[in-house]
């Protein structure tokens, strides 16, 4: 097993401004319906949206994908496990990329204060044999 890490930090005021200017269109471009419902149920939704943006960026960094076109941000969903800890659910092309890269699990940690939100993602990759590494380039 090998691991890859990604991290990101996001300005809460920047996200708040994006939500004010872009409204529903902005939210639906970046977040799933469940993420929107979760964040909007909080007393300060911008903090939670910013943390999820940071998490999506951190997860994208550990995937090491170089697809063409826009990044399908809604294909990275930040959910919660049965104990309430943040969890990652991938779908579509990003799930395919993770599977083909041998990524089994992605753990994520989120944090925020009034000004910034940050996240760290760690992906576990299955160790590839020497023959696989040589043949893949």
pLDDT tens figures, 89-107: 999 989 998 998 899 899 9
Residue pair 118/47 in contact (Cβ under 8 Å)? The answer is no
3-state SS assignment for residue 88: strand
Q: What is the residue extent of each domain of the chain?
A: 2-135
pTM of the full predicted structure? 0.87
CATH architecture classification, 2-135 = Alpha-Beta Complex (3.90)
Is the pLDDT assigned to residue 125 strictly greater than 80?
Answer: yes
CA distances from 113 to 9, 10, 49, 51, 90 (A): 11, 11, 12, 10, 26
Choose between 129 and 116: higher pLDDT: 116
Per-residue pLDDT tens digits for 106-118 = 999 999 999 999 9
């Amino acid at each position: 097993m090998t691991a890859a890490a990604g991290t990101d930090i996001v300005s809460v005021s920047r996200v708040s401004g994006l939500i004010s200017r872009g409204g529903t269109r902005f939210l639906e471009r970046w977040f799933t319906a469940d993420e929107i419902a979760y964040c909007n149920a909080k007393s300060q939704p911008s903090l939670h949206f910013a943390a999820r943006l940071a998490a999506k960026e951190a997860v994208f960094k550990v995937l090491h994908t170089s697809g063409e076109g826009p990044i399908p941000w809604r294909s990275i969903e930040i959910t919660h496990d049965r104990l309430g800890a943040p969890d990652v659910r991938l779908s579509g092309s990003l799930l395919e990329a993770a599977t083909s890269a041998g990524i089994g699990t992605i753990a994520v940690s989120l944090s925020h204060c009034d000004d910034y939100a940050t996240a760290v993602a760690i992906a576990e990759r299955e160790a590839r044999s020497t023959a696989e590494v040589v043949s893949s380039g």
